[in-house]
Amino acid sequence: MKKLSTTTRQAMEKLQTHPLTIGLDLGDRSSYYCVLDEAGRTVVEEKVSTTPKALETRFGALPRRRIALETGMHSPWVSRLLSGLGHETIVAHARNVRLIGESRKKDDRLDAQTLARLARIDPQLLCPVKHRSAQAQADLSVIRARAGLVRARTALVNTARGLAKSYGERLRGCNVRNMNREKAEGLSPELQAALEPLLNAIESLSEGIAEYNEGIETLAQQSYPQVALLKQIKGVGTLIGLTFLLTLEDPHRFRKSRDVGCYLGLQPGRRNSGQSEPQMHISKEGDPYLRTLLGQGAQHILGPFGVDCDLRRWGLKLAERGGKSGKKRAIIATARKLAVLLHRLWVSGEVYEPLHNSKQSPLPTAA
């Protein structure tokens, strides 16, 4: 770890009792930080290794300071470490801080300085985000690891099918989950020999995914009983429910349930100016994997196996009048309403009534 220079140490010691604002630009191996005094003058600009020990040594001796950093690969654990040291940690939304992302003069030193200046003026300019806890991140990593295996299996299955078709033959069956060596029994001997290692790898991945499924079920039952509330909706399984809980983590961070749709990027963007109000696509902000899962849940609700409920009726009616891309829009809109409904059930703990809005009010009796 790089030691503090004499000049840096003297500057830091001199301003121990003065208000300081720090901008920290995180890198994979080393990070750059900039310290501003109360007048906005640069006090210190130094590099520090991106390791827990180095960061704790550098910032642990300081009194409580405001430290701003960008979202990234290292920002979750770094923000937890700095908060644990007593600092006011602000994690800036990298996508929304255009002064950094779209700057013509972009380097680590200037990025750290810009973070510090924005945090000194108004932290809301950084569009701060809240990282989940270490335990929630560890549990969510199980789900993300499973998703990685699913993507790998899908890629291998597509490769095997493409190779068979280019040879003028076809693999039997179309279910990815059941793809194994037996599916290649009807192929020519030379093609079987070429695909055997590939199909073995697919079978191994399917076994790994099954193990993850069992682990996720056990995790939900033992540590997250709220998943049972969300599974009241037909089309929402343990995977969707648990991912929803772990991604949001704290249901009370939202003032109302409707805000969840915006948080997950399922709300259309806005760019209104004067009389112009163009129709825009959804923002696609937030967690993309959870957004995908909610889309899958919406497809099940609107599909042939979906049960009759208010959400299904609303989605099908929207698809009928949606024109050429009506079904696609209906799936996105249903996914957004599904997210709002899941949050409402989570907060209230109510029993889900599929046809709550469709109950007919009793007719008035004749006089």
Whole-Å CA distances, 134 to 29, 46, 57: 21, 28, 21
Supply the pTM of this predicted model: 0.83
**CATH of span 11-126:** 3.30.420.40
What is the per-residue pLDDT across 206-225, written as a single tens digit (0 to 9) for each?
999 999 999 999 999 999 99
Segment 356-360 shows an average pLDDT of 72
Q: Could you tell me which of 159, 163, 197, 189 has the C-alpha nearest to residue 176?
A: 159
171-175, 268-272, 331-335: range with highest mean pLDDT: 331-335
What is the per-residue pLDDT across 261-274, written as a single tens digit (0 to 9) for each?
988 988 876 665 56
- Domain coordinates in residue numbering, the chain: 11-126, 134-223, 229-348
What is the per-residue pLDDT across 81-125, written as a single tens digit (0 to 9) for each?
999 999 999 999 887 777 776 666 677 888 899 999 999 999 888
pLDDT for the residue 127: 86
Answer with the residue of higher pLDDT: 171 or 55.
55
Q: Are 61 and 17 in contact (CB under 8 A)?
A: no
Q: Are 43 and 67 in contact (CB under 8 A)?
A: no
Q: Are 84 and 55 in contact (CB under 8 A)?
A: no
Average pLDDT, the chain: 87
C-beta atoms surrounding 63 within 10 Å: 11
Q: Could you tell me which of 90, 87, 73, 11 has the C-alpha nearest to residue 46?
A: 11
